[in-house]
Structure 1
Amino acid sequence: MSLHVVVGAGPVGSAIARRLAAQGDDVVVVTRSGSGPDVAGVRRVAADASDAARLTSLAVGAASIHNAANPPYHRWAADWPPLHRSLLAAAERAGAVLVTVSNLYGYGPVDGPMTEDLPLAANGTKGRVRAAMWEQALAAHDDGRLRATEVRGSDYVCPGPGSHVGDRVMPRLLAGRPVTVLPRADVAHSWTSVDDVARLAVVAATDERAWGRAWHVPSNAPRTQRELVADLCRVAGLEPVPVREHSRMLLRALGAVNPMLRELGEVAYQFERPFVLDSSAAERTFGLAPTPWDEVLEAQVAAYRGTPART
């Protein structure tokens, strides 16, 4: 039995905490509000994770610290640096492995499937923030000050407003109404299950082969947004619903007054050109495979219908 600290209680942080608790480990979930999964083995603590002294005190004796935090989308440039410095300091002082849950923004636009050896060449603010976080963690790792790894997934299929097929799509889909997606609806795109993120994060925390580099989360073959919506309808036992694209002009206009929507412009390329993740390295090294696609979709449908997913 080991102690693990999870910072953040969103879909990924909660999935990591549940997985660790299910294998008999003790888990401390740290959020400002003290929220988190209410399951045996998980202790929820209200704390500011950007306070390095406080976070270190919670991590004493911990085998790993999982960074599954997610500051407001439009505040990454301001909120991530102090939080990341605190996570680095706590991991170093506590002797814990730092596992950062990240994404693919750091690469910027690329041609072809993304692999972990691509340069972190993003030009946008959010991509540069994510790239800098990994570069700092890797430098500390290479200096022998801590042990670090990073797991990177694509857009999540999960409940909630943060998923492209969450609150903005699922209620309309289940009601048989048209859904609207980001332009373009017919471009190949990789999608990642939060359970697969958690599975890789838990493995990476304790497997020395994972340390000192980044890994892509095992993910299923890419599907366009239109195909994803059709797949969800099929799994839900519904006829396909019409799929429309948001107007680029309208998104730009709304972005002038909505900071969250304004940020979408920086990452619009992810849906305007193929955005494909290659996760073969993690699958080969750790013997992992993505959750079967229909199981991912069944869990999504069940979450919005309020019914258990079929096992």
Structure 2
Amino acid sequence: MPRSVRPGYICIKKIMQTILGSGSAIGNLLAKELKNFTNHIRLVARKPVKVNADDELFPADLLDKEKVEMAVKGSDVVYLTVGLPYNTRVWEWDWPVIMHNVVSACLKSNARLVFLDNVYMYSADEIPRMTETSPLQPPSRKGRVRTQIQQIMLDAIADRGLQGLIARSADFYGPSVANSPLAITVLDEFRKGKKAFWQVDDSKLHAFTYVPDAARALAMLGNTEDCYGEIWHLPTSSEKLTGKEFITKVAAELKCKPDYYVFKRWMMKLVGIFVPIVRELGEMSYQYDRDYAFDSSKFENRFSYNPVSYAEGIREMVQASV
């Protein structure tokens, strides 16, 4: 994919593009990618840190409506990439407030909104063949939150004139992605000299989105006028690998034995009594007891984009962890 700005993009170098929830792996890479489209980038977080030398920093809590309005003021494109603690109660309380605040601020400033979403709202039966048109029937509380906040945004697009798009990703992986399931359960464990582990069933296929691909795609979508008003899956390799094959590939890059165990659902329930994060993961375990296939052909065809292969992505992930 050429790095230069192509015909059809809406941006000129003077317009303001703002990242709400900067500082994460996706936020940092997105800030770098946006330099291809603008010289005016604003990073918003509780404690924002510059990525590019000329970034504008704006400290703000996205739960504060007035602060969000101030953060968004003057923006032409706003990217909502914030990540909340992986806690259902926090999600149920904070996410609707954040989405209402951001939508209101974007409408007030006439800014376009790009929302980075996940796949939790899809029906469990759709996990083996997820597309942008998959039915929404979330089997989890977290999924119901994602459905709720998506609807807030879609209603604003339909009824209030918001210009927005939703970009969905499979599970993240890649260099410096601390919360990637592939890093936490495999790479980090091998690095500690321990056995890796996989949730529920290592024979099932699973898709992962390479974070640099996701960041580049977000910048492209946000700067392409005819992409607004739609839902997009971010570019993700169509290779079909099982949990066991992912573990083997990571071990090969580390030059270690691919020793691992399967973290069964009953084990998660038991450990979850004492470890809150395991309890939180438990309700999402259905994503590992069946094939998990994420179709991003809509984006790839629109932009003639080839996602990074798993071999290359895992190599970069491992090298960045050295």
CA offset digits 1:101-128 (Å, max 9, x no partner): 0111110302441110112111321111
1:156 matched residue in structure 2 = 172
CA distance in 1 between counterparts of 2:287 and 2:172 reads: 13
1:13 matched residue in structure 2 = 27
Tell me if structure 2 keeps the 8 A contact 1:161–1:168.
Answer: no
State the Cα distance separating 1:201 from its structure 2 match. 1.1
TM score, norm. by length of structure 2:
0.88
Tell me if structure 1 keeps the 8 A contact 2:115–2:165.
Answer: yes
Matches within 5 A, 1:74-153: 74=87, 75-111=90-126, 112-153=128-169
Structure 1 alignment gaps of length 5 or more:
306-311
1:41 matched residue in structure 2 = 54
Specify the code of the residue in structure 2 equivalent to 1:226.
K
2:229 matched residue in structure 1 = 212
Residue 288 of structure 2 is aligned to residue 288 of structure 1: no
CA distance in 1 between counterparts of 2:178 and 2:51 reads: 21
CA offset digits 1:46-99 (Å, max 9, x no partner): 211122222222222212111111111112111101111111111111111111
1:68 matched residue in structure 2 = 81
Counterpart secondary structure, 2:17: strand
1:308 matched residue in structure 2 = none
Structure 2 alignment gaps of length 5 or more:
1-12
Tell me if structure 2 keeps the 8 A contact 1:149–1:211.
Answer: yes
Runs of 4+ in 1 over 6 A off after TM superposition: none
Tell me if structure 2 keeps the 8 A contact 1:109–1:270.
Answer: yes
Stretch deviating more after TM superposition (257-266 or 215-224): 257-266
**What is the Cα-based RMSD across aligned positions, in Å?**
1.9
CA distance in 2 between counterparts of 1:140 and 1:192 reads: 28
CA distance in 2 between counterparts of 1:295 and 1:242 reads: 22
Residue 254 of structure 2 is aligned to residue 241 of structure 1: no
Tell me if structure 1 keeps the 8 A contact 2:16–2:38.
Answer: no
Tell me if structure 2 keeps the 8 A contact 1:17–1:37.
Answer: no
Q: Percent identity?
A: 25
1:54 matched residue in structure 2 = 67
Tell me if structure 2 keeps the 8 A contact 1:103–1:152.
Answer: yes
Tell me if structure 2 keeps the 8 A contact 1:102–1:152.
Answer: yes
Count of aligned residue pairs for this structure pair: 303
Tell me if structure 1 keeps the 8 A contact 2:99–2:149.
Answer: yes
CA offset digits 1:152-182 (Å, max 9, x no partner): 1111113344211224432332466421121
